[in-house]
Amino acid sequence: MAEVIAEQGIQEILAQLGIEEINNGASTGGKWFKTRGERIDSYSPVDGRLIASVNSATEVDYEAVILKAQEAFKEWRLIPAPKRGEIVRQLAEKIRFYKEPLGKLVSYEMGKSLQEGLGEVQEMIDICDFAVGLSRQLYGLTMHSERPGHRMYEQYHPLGIVGIISAFNFPVAVWNWNTALAWVCGDVCVWKPSEKTPITALACQQITKEVFDANGVPEGVSSLVIGGAEIGKLMAEDVRVPLVSATGSTRMGKSVGAAVGARLGRSLLELGGNNAIIITPTADLKMVVPGAVFGAVGTAGQRCTTTRRLIIHEEVYDKVKEALVKAYAQLRIGNPLDQHNHVGPLIDKAAVEMYNAALKNVVAEGGKIIVEGGVLEGPGYESGCYVKPAIVEAENHFQMVQHETFAPILYLMKYKGGIENAIKIQNGVPQGLSSAIMTNNLQESEAFLSQAGSDCGIANVNIGTSGAEIGGAFGGEKETGGGRESGSDSWKIYMRRQTNTINYTDNLPLAQGIKFEL
């Protein structure tokens, strides 16, 4: 691996994870391909230093990976699901062993706080534990037949190759949300990580390789293909990949969904969010402030569940605004590996440009900035990726408010009257991922959760919009894509359902009473 830096002990971390010598961007688990694609340099947004370089995969490399995955599926699907679950259990143990160095690498390559980096690795452990139990619960159904002497049931079979396209903001957890479930279901996985965070992907593949090698798992069950949009396009159009799970922007998701749909494949889309918290007159300010602030500035506003809008009742608007301004004044912005800091950097300078443009445009639309933003300079901010979290008073119909900006910009807006007016504002955006209400009024909370309430895939009461647990299915509606990952019964998208009818008589009656005599 070229030009590894020693800053933040990163060289030692890479050595602990077993990736200090890897510089190739494709793997089928058993071996690393010598890729000759364009070089991808991974720079840390923490300090602007080069972490490492990796050669991206070419179309030839992609083809080799897919062929190996097809071969592996024939063997992997025949291993009993509980046995597959046992291998995933061992993976969870291995990730526990590597939790600290992997969490630090996530923080350093992506820029989120160390606590959030460690938390993301914990999500990997949690979903593996969930999948282990699931491996003994891939239930079908039985039902009564209308024909005497017949038995009917439904069962689930593995799909085949699951293609995974992940985003930079959760560079390891989202991959494992998909793989842990897909593997126990009997599928094999091919992963295209974000080209902005390739080194964490190398680490995940290497950790998985340790466990799979020890258990004799066929080469090709866990594959990695590092590259840009061209790799994602190949995957989306590939009829050999029955399911493509894609996480990222709505623009990207529409492209993937169209390509997969054109070949009648399946897509699992986790796309943009424009998440709001409704704050009612009975809300507890002690819960409102930390919930709203963490939701808005955590991961520097680069979560799909980031709180982007506060819809505040006019009776408490000024009080909430004042409390937020005071809280923002206490935020510490800097190196995310320093646990005293609240806010780290944006992923790169392109993200900084989008942040600046959003603030400029929302002011042009009539927005009023009440907590100034801006790019930080000087010692500790050499990467040019650190910005100040900003608060803007705005209207929900503003173009910039309707748009998801992946940065720490929080929009405040006022509502009058009953909760139905706040819900109308909440639902009045194209996205539908996460939502929340802060209230101590039972009628308001129930209205928010009712059929006429939040139109989002996630609706919370007295907690913020971020911080999903793996037990519940994660995903959203409208331009968020409609996909569900992680917990609950989301495993079903990784399998194909089959209805079986068994006739145990010596007669052949037809359904619906149809007579057919020869």
% of residues, the chain, pLDDT over 70:
98
- The answer to whether 246 touches 276, Cβ cutoff 8 Å, is no
Instruction: Given the residues 304, 385, 404, 456, select the one marked as catalytic.
Output: 304
**Using DSSP, how many helices (H) and how many strands (E) does the chain show?**
15, 22
- The answer to whether 112 touches 121, Cβ cutoff 8 Å, is no
pLDDT for res 48: 95
Q: What is the mean pLDDT of residues 324-337?
A: 97
Per-state percent for the chain, helix, strand, coil, to nearest 5: 40, 20, 40
pLDDT range class, residue 6, cuts 50, 70, 90: very low
Residues 118, 124, 125, 130: is their CA dihedral positive or negative? positive
pLDDT for res 517: 81
Asked whether residue 170 carries a pLDDT value surpassing 90, the answer given is: yes
Q: What is the mean pLDDT of residues 342-358?
A: 98
Q: What is the mean pLDDT of residues 385-409?
A: 98
pLDDT for res 515: 87
Active site residue 304: yes
pLDDT range class, residue 5, cuts 50, 70, 90: very low
Q: What is the mean pLDDT of residues 244-267?
A: 97
pLDDT for res 216: 97
Find, among 320, 380, 311, 376, the residue nearest to 7 by Cα.
Answer: 380
pLDDT for res 274: 98
pLDDT range class, residue 21, cuts 50, 70, 90: confident
Rg (CA), the chain: 25
Cα–chain center distance at 305: 10
CA distances from 129 to 123, 126, 132, 135, 266 (A): 10, 5, 5, 10, 26
Active site residue 365: no
CA atoms of 324 and 225, how far apart (whole Å) = 43
Asked whether residue 202 carries a pLDDT value surpassing 90, the answer given is: yes
Residues 297, 300, 305, 306: is their CA dihedral positive or negative? positive
Asked whether residue 2 carries a pLDDT value surpassing 80, the answer given is: no
Strands, E, within 185-264: which ranges? 188-192, 222-225, 243-247
pLDDT range class, residue 518, cuts 50, 70, 90: confident
pLDDT for res 495: 98
Asked whether residue 1 carries a pLDDT value surpassing 60, the answer given is: no
User: What residues contact residue 52 under an 8 Å CB cut-off, 6+ apart?
Assistant: 1, 2, 3, 4, 14, 23, 42, 199
CA atoms of 176 and 86, how far apart (whole Å) = 16
- The answer to whether 458 touches 485, Cβ cutoff 8 Å, is no
pLDDT for res 273: 97
Asked whether residue 29 carries a pLDDT value surpassing 90, the answer given is: no
pLDDT (tens digit, 9 = 90+) per residue, 405-425?
999 999 999 999 999 999 999
Here the tokens at position 204 are 């995940």
pLDDT for res 134: 98
Q: What is the mean pLDDT of residues 102-120?
A: 97
CA atoms of 37 and 58, how far apart (whole Å) = 5
pTM for this model (two decimals): 0.96
- The answer to whether 276 touches 391, Cβ cutoff 8 Å, is no
pLDDT for res 33: 84
Here the tokens at position 449 are 């959760």
User: What residues contact residue 170 under an 8 Å CB cut-off, 6+ apart?
Assistant: 120, 247, 303
User: What residues contact residue 16 under an 8 Å CB cut-off, 6+ apart?
Assistant: 98, 101
User: What residues contact residue 132 under an 8 Å CB cut-off, 6+ apart?
Assistant: 85, 86, 88, 89, 92, 184
DSSP 8-state assignment for residue 32: B
Asked whether residue 454 carries a pLDDT value surpassing 50, the answer given is: yes
Mean pLDDT of the chain: 96
Question: Rounded to 5 degrees, what are φ and ψ at 369?
Answer: -80, 125
pLDDT (tens digit, 9 = 90+) per residue, 31-80?
788 898 999 999 999 999 999 999 999 999 999 999 999 999 999 999 99
CA distances from 58 to 39, 161, 175, 246 (A): 11, 19, 21, 20
CA atoms of 184 and 131, how far apart (whole Å) = 7
pLDDT for res 22: 84
Strand order in the sheet with 458-461: 368-371, 390-393, 409-415, 307-313, 275-279, 434-438, 458-461
Q: For the chain, how many residues are written?
A: 518
Q: How many CB atoms lie within 10 A of CB 406?
A: 25
Q: What is the mean pLDDT of residues 449-457?
A: 98
DSSP notation for 87-117? HHHHHHHHHHHTHHHHHHHHHHHH---HHHH
pLDDT range class, residue 30, cuts 50, 70, 90: confident
Asked whether residue 211 carries a pLDDT value surpassing 90, the answer given is: yes
Q: What is the mean pLDDT of residues 298-315?
A: 98
CA atoms of 108 and 7, how far apart (whole Å) = 10
Helices marked H in 409-466: 419-427, 442-449
Asked whether residue 130 carries a pLDDT value surpassing 50, the answer given is: yes
pLDDT range class, residue 118, cuts 50, 70, 90: very high
pLDDT range class, residue 513, cuts 50, 70, 90: confident
Asked whether residue 351 carries a pLDDT value surpassing 80, the answer given is: yes
- The answer to whether 385 touches 351, Cβ cutoff 8 Å, is yes
User: What residues contact residue 336 under an 8 Å CB cut-off, 6+ apart?
Assistant: 46, 107, 108, 111, 112, 113, 114, 116, 117, 344, 345
pLDDT for res 3: 38
Asked whether residue 4 carries a pLDDT value surpassing 70, the answer given is: no
% of residues, the chain, pLDDT over 90:
93
pLDDT for res 14: 93
Instruction: Given the residues 270, 404, 444, 485, select the one marked as catalytic.
Output: 270
